[in-house]
C-alpha cells in the first residue's frame, strides 16, 4: 500500500472509533448538522416535511404594472435624493446612466468635498483591492474570463454647468492600492453649509461583469446591484460613537459589503421590449412601450440603496399580504421558468418571514417586497439583499430542499438589520449578518420545524476572531464568514440563554425600535442589552465581541480512591474542571456514579478551574461538563466528558489525542 492509502484507512478507522464513542457517551446527535448556510451541511427536517411541490404551472402574469404613490410621512432624515435615468443596451452587458444627486449637509460644519463609491470598478482588473483580497472568488462563485467590469464617469458638473471632472480624484484610504478606483473624491467649488444642499449632475457608462460577486449578467439575465455612483455616508457627532463629524469612506474589499445613507430614489429604467424589470420600491407610472423598448419608472424613499434586475424569461407572480405590523405589502416574485411551479413555497417563506419579523421586532413599513430567482449558472447574483428586494439562490435544482426557504427567510431578515437599522457593514458586519442569521433560525424553527444543531455549528469555530473589526481585517473570507455569521449568532444565543427567550425578544425589539434608520454601533447594542436586563455586560462583550474568545470547558482529571468511614466502604472522587476561554454564565457539571446516582453541580466559572471532592458509597463512573450544551460558545465539546475507570495514562492519552484529531479533522473540513 502507498502511504496515501494507509493515511486514508487510518483516518476512516479513527473517525469510526470517534463516532462509536460519541454515540456511547451521548454525543450522537452532535455529528448531525441540521443547519443550512452557504458553507454548512444541508438541513434536515425535525418533523415537518418540505412543502409539496405544485405540479401545475401557475398562471403567468405578464407584467408587474401596478402603479402606487409615495406616502407623505418621512421615516428617515433623507440625506440624499437621486434622480436616475438608465438604459440597458441590447447586449445586456452595458448600462448607460445619467443622474442628478442632491446631498443635504446633516452636520454642523461646512463640507467642501463629496465621496462617491464606484463599485463596478472592483472588477476592472485582477489588481483591484477586491480582486486581490478575494482571489476572484466569493462564497462558492468564481470570476470567469468575462468577469471584467467597470464604471466610467463621462460627465460631472454643477447645476450651473461647471465641469467638476478636473477635480475628480481617486483615493485609496484603506490600503493605498493605486490600481483601485472604487472610491472617488470631488472637491466642490463652494462648501455646503450645515442644513444646506448641493446638486450635481453626472453621466456614466457601466460594463457589467459576467455575473460574480452580487452583480453582472448571465446570458440575458441582468443583476444591477451597486451599479450607480453612490455617495458615502457623512456621519454626524454621536453616530456610531463619533466624537467629530466626517465622511466614513472605504474602498470595496473582498469581504466588505455596503454602507450608505437614507434618501429618495426616482429611477427610470429603459430595457429592450422583451425584458421584465424588478426593482427596489414601486412603479409610479404605467410601463411605456415605444420603439422596441420598454420604460419603467420606480420610486423608493427611506432606503439607502437601489437595485434592479431584468430578464426576458421572468415568470411574474404577485400576492397581497397583511398581518400585525404589516399594513399591506405586495410580494412580487420574479421566477426563473424552471421554478415557476414552486411559487407557493417562495410565497410561504416570504409571508412566514415578514410575519415573524414584524411580530418580534417591528413594522415592515414598505409597500413592496420583490424576490428574484436567478437562472441556473447565475448564483453569483443569488442570496443577496437590497432594500425591498432580495435574490434567492439560483434555480440550479428543479426541486430544491429547505435551502430555498432558508435563503428567502435570511434575505428578508436583512430588510431589518441591513435595510432599516442600516449597520455599517464595512466596520461592524456582525450587526447585520449575525443578527440576521439568529433571526433566520428562529423563523425556520417556528415555520418549518427545523432546529439548528448548535453543537456542530460551534465546532465549526476553528479560527475565532473579534467581531468588532474591519471586514477586510479578517485573514480570509472563510474566517470572515465563520465569525460574522456563525460566531456572531452564537454570541446572541449566549445572551439569550442567560436572560431567556422573552427578554431576548425585548432586547432585539428595543434595539430595532430605537435605532431604525439611524446607523447604530456595537456599543449602542450593548447599551440596549444593559438597559433591558439592568445588568452590566462589559465582560461578556469584551470576551466575545471585542476579543476572539470561545467558552471552552474541560474535565481535566478524575481520581477515585476507596476510603473507610465509620467502618463502611466509601469512595472519594476528585474531579478537576478547567476553563480554557471566556465565561458564559453558570456551567452545569454532572457526576454519574456506578450505583446510578447522579449529581449536578453549578459553577459560575469566575475562576480558571474548580475541583469537586465527593464522598459517596459508590465510585464515580463519569463526569460531564454541560451535557445539554447550554454553553453554545464551547467549540471543543470532545473534552467535556471523561470516564473515571480508565487508567489515568490511557485517559490522558485519549483526551489529548482525540482533541488533536478532532481539531485536525475540523481544520481540513471547515469552510
**Residue ranges for the binding site for Zn(2+)?**
410, 414, 433
Torsion of CA 256, 260, 265, 267, to 10 degrees: -30
Segment (H or E) for 498: helix 488-499
Helix or strand or coil: residue 188?
Answer: strand
Question: Annotated catalytic residue: which of 405, 411, 440, 496?
Answer: 411
Instruction: State the Cα–Cα distance between residues 496 and 503, nearest whole angstrom.
Output: 8
Grid cell 453626472 is found at 202
Backbone angles phi, psi at 368, to 5 degrees: -135, 155
Backbone angles phi, psi at 235, to 5 degrees: -90, 130
CA atoms within 13 A on the CB side of 37: 28
Q: What pairs with residue 560 in β-bridges? A: 573
Binding residues: 410, 414, 433
Backbone angles phi, psi at 421, to 5 degrees: -70, -35
- For residues 482 and 473, the answer to whether their CB atoms sit within 8 Å is no
Closest CA to 638 of 621, 607, 663: 663
Q: Over 272-294, what HEC string results?
A: ECCCEEEECCEECCCCEEECCEE
Going by the DSSP 8-state scheme, the letter that residue 408 receives in this structure is: H
Helix or strand or coil: residue 503?
Answer: helix
**Burial of residue 661, with CB atoms counted within 10 A of its CB: 0-12 exposed, 13-18 middle, 19 or more buried:** middle
C-alpha cell at 260: 450608505
Segment (H or E) for 662: helix 648-669
Q: Is 411 one of the annotated active-site residues of the chain? A: yes
Closest CA to 202 of 261, 139, 157: 157
Q: Is 385 one of the annotated active-site residues of the chain? A: no
Question: Annotated catalytic residue: which of 485, 511, 515, 544?
Answer: 485
Active site residues: 411, 485
Amino acid at each position: 500500500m502507498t502511504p496515501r492509502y494507509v493515511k486514508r484507512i487510518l483516518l476512516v478507522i479513527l473517525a469510526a472509533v470517534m463516532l462509536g464513542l460519541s454515540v456511547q457517551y451521548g454525543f450522537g446527535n452532535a455529528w448531525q448538522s441540521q443547519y443550512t448556510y452557504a458553507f454548512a451541511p444541508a438541513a434536515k427536517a425535525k418533523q415537518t416535511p418540505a412543502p409539496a411541490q405544485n405540479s401545475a404551472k401557475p398562471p403567468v402574469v405578464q407584467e408587474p404594472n401596478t402603479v402606487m404613490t409615495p406616502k407623505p410621512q418621512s421615516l428617515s432624515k433623507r440625506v440624499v435624493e437621486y434622480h436616475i435615468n438608465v438604459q440597458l443596451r441590447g447586449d445586456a452587458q452595458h448600462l448607460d446612466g445619467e443622474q442628478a444627486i442632491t446631498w443635504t449637509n446633516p452636520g454642523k460644519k461646512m463640507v467642501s468635498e463629496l465621496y462617491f463609491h464606484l463599485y463596478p470598478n472592483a472588477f476592472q482588473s485582477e489588481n483591484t483591492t477586491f480582486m486581490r483580497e478575494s482571489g476572484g472568488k466569493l462564497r462558492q462563485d468564481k470570476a470567469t474570463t468575462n468577469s471584467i467590469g467597470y464604471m466610467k464617469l463621462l460627465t460631472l458638473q454643477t447645476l450651473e454647468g461647471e465641469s467638476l471632472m478636473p477635480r475628480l480624484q481617486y483615493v485609496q484610504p484603506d490600503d493605498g492600492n493605486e490600481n483601485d478606483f472604487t472610491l472617488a473624491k470631488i472637491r466642490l467649488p463652494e462648501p455646503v453649509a450645515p442644513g444646506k444642499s448641493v446638486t450635481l449632475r453626472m453621466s456614466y457608462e457601466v460594463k457589467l461583469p459576467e455575473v460574480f460577486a452580487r452583480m453582472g449578467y448571465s446570458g440575458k439575465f441582468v443583476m444591477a446591484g451597486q451599479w450607480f455612483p453612490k455617495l458615502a455616508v457623512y456621519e454626524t457627532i454621536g453616530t456610531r460613537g463619533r466624537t467629530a463629524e466626517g465622511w466614513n469612506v472605504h474602498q470595496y474589499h473582498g469581504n466588505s459589503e455596503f454602507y450608505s445613507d437614507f434618501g429618495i430614489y426616482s429611477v427610470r429604467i429603459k430595457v429592450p421590449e422583451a425584458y421584465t424589470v424588478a426593482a427596489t420600491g414601486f412603479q409610479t407610472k404605467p410601463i411605456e412601450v415605444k420603439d422596441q423598448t420598454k420604460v419603467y419608472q420606480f420610486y423608493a424613499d427611506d432606503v439607502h440603496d437601489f437595485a434592479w434586475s431584468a430578464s426576458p424569461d421572468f415568470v411574474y407572480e404577485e400576492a397581497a399580504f397583511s398581518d400585525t405590523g404589516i399594513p399591506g405589502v405586495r410580494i412580487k416574485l420574479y421566477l426563473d421558468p424552471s421554478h415557476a411551479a414552486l411559487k407557493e413555497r417562495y410565497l410561504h417563506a416570504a409571508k412566514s418571514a415578514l410575519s415573524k419579523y414584524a411580530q418580534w421586532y417591528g413594522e415592515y413599513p414598505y409597500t413592496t417586497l420583490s424576490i428574484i430567482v436567478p437562472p441556473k449558472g447565475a448564483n453569483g447574483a443569488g442570496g443577496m439583499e437590497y432594500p425591498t428586494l432580495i435574490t434567492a439562490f439560483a434555480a440550479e435544482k428543479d426541486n430544491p430542499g429547505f435551502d430555498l426557504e432558508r435563503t428567502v427567510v435570511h434575505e428578508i431578515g436583512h430588510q431589518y438589520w441591513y435595510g432599516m437599522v442600516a449597520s455599517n457593514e464595512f466596520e461592524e458586519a456582525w450587526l447585520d449578518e449575525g443578527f440576521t442569521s439568529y433571526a433566520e433560525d428562529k423563523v425556520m424553527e417556528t415555520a418549518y420545524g427545523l432546529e439548528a444543531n448548535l453543537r456542530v455549528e460551534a465546532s465549526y469555530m476553528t479560527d475565532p476572531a473579534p467581531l468588532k473589526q474591519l471586514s477586510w481585517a479578517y485573514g480570509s473570507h472563510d474566517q470572515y464568514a465563520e465569525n460574522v455569521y456563525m460566531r456572531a449568532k452564537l454570541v446572541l444565543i449566549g445572551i439569550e440563554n442567560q436572560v431567556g427567550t422573552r427578554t431576548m425578544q425585548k432586547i432585539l425589539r428595543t434595539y430595532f425600535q430605537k435605532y431604525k434608520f439611524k446607523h447604530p454601533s456595537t456599543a449602542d447594542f450593548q447599551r440596549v442589552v444593559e438597559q433591558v436586563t439592568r445588568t452590566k455586560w462589559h465582560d461578556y462583550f469584551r470576551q466575545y465581541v471585542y476579543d476572539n474568545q470561545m467558552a471552552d470547558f474541560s474535565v481535566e482529571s478524575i481520581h477515585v480512591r476507596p476510603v473507610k468511614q465509620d467502618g463502611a466502604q466509601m469512595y472519594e472522587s476528585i474531579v478537576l474542571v478547567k476553563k480554557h476561554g471566556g465565561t458564559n454564565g453558570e456551567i452545569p457539571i454532572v457526576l454519574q456514579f456506578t450505583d446510578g446516582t447522579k449529581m449536578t453541580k453549578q459553577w459560575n466559572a469566575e475562576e480558571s478551574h474548580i475541583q469537586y471532592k465527593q464522598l459517596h458509597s459508590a465510585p464515580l463512573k463519569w463526569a460531564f461538563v454541560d451535557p445539554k450544551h447550554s454553553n453554545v460558545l464551547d467549540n471543543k465539546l470532545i473534552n467535556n466528558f471523561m470516564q473515571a475507570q480508565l487508567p489515568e495514562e490511557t485517559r490522558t492519552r485519549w483526551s489529548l489525542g482525540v482533541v488533536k484529531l478532532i481539531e485536525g479533522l475540523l481544520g481540513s473540513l471547515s469552510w
